[in-house]
Amino acid sequence: MAANPQKQPVSDIAAGLLSIKIDGMQDLPISGLKMVKTGDQTVFISSNGRFAFYGGKLMDIWTQQEIKALADIDNIANRIDLSRMKLKADDLGAVTVGHGKGQVLVFIDPRCPYCGKVMNDLQVLQDHYTFKLVMVPILGPESQNIVVQLACQLGASDAKTKDAVRDRLLKQDYAGLPTEPPVQCNKEPLQKAVVTAKLFDLKGVPFLIAPDGRTHSGAPEVLADWLADKPKPSPSLATTPDTNAQNTNATEKKP
């Protein structure tokens, strides 16, 4: 008979982990984990489905890359590669500002003051970047109505109407918008925007994705410097938080 090796007690394994010398530590962009059983295998998957722990490996499912070192957190995990995901900003009903070579995706709530700072700062960078502003209504029913009204107007084919929507956003001027839902409106882009925001696990706005995939939650102190990946001179401004803890209907109900 073959000898069966004795399993190491769980308490010994835990003690061994506690005594490990730590050479470095860095947070992963994960807000929660789900335990998945598939046959005899156990897999741990992040809540947004991006990261998976299995077979002793940490994989970035979105980019199909293994994360092996701390440097990979910055180079892979803390970036969002829109091209690998085949995600097009225009499919999210984005408002385009600028005509530069690099594309910057910016998630905003139309009433968010820090979003207003970003929209003010980006106007002098229009020759260098193309900004895609994606509206998500995270600040309650008033934002919900503004986003729906503007999104429906964006569906119009004439350039004049689209220009008017862009101007309203940049100035954060929503006076005179109807309060009743439009009778006819293609809400699919807006619905995709809300789903994408949840996929990216947005905790607040603005949320920016630079041309090289770097992400930033909140308004950068100096937008041009952040886009150029220069060291920031001081901590960035705060983010306008998602208030869904108080008003869960703000994003969970379909627009």
pLDDT at 17: 55
CATH topology of domain 89-252: Glutaredoxin (3.40.30)
- For 143, residues 6+ apart whose C-beta sits below 8 A from its C-beta are 109, 110, 111, 137, 250
- For 189, residues 6+ apart whose C-beta sits below 8 A from its C-beta are 91, 92, 93, 151, 154, 155
Q: How far apart are CA 221 and CA 74, in angstroms?
A: 20
CB of 41 closer than 8 Å to CB of 52 = no
pLDDT at 30: 74
Given the structure tokens 């309060």, which residue do they identify? 179
CA 226-231-235 angle, to 5 degrees, is: 80
**Count of CB atoms situated within 10 Å of the CB of 81:** 15
pLDDT at 248: 35
| pTM as predicted | 0.74
pLDDT at 232: 59
Residue of 88, 174, 162 lying closest to 132 (CA atoms): 88
Mean pLDDT (10-residue bins), the chain, 255 residues: 55 61 71 81 80 82 79 76 88 94 96 96 96 95 93 83 91 90 86 91 92 94 93 59 44 44
The domains of the chain are located at 32-78, 89-252
Scanning 53-176, the segments in alpha helix (DSSP H) are 70-72, 113-121, 141-154, 159-171
C-alpha distances out from residue 43 to 33, 66, 72, Å: 10, 15, 21
pLDDT at 240: 64
pLDDT at 119: 97
pLDDT at 253: 42
* Residues forming a β-bridge with 138: none
Residue of 207, 193, 209 lying closest to 251 (CA atoms): 193
List the beta strands (DSSP E) in 47-128: 51-54, 57-60, 65-66, 95-98, 102-108
pLDDT at 247: 37
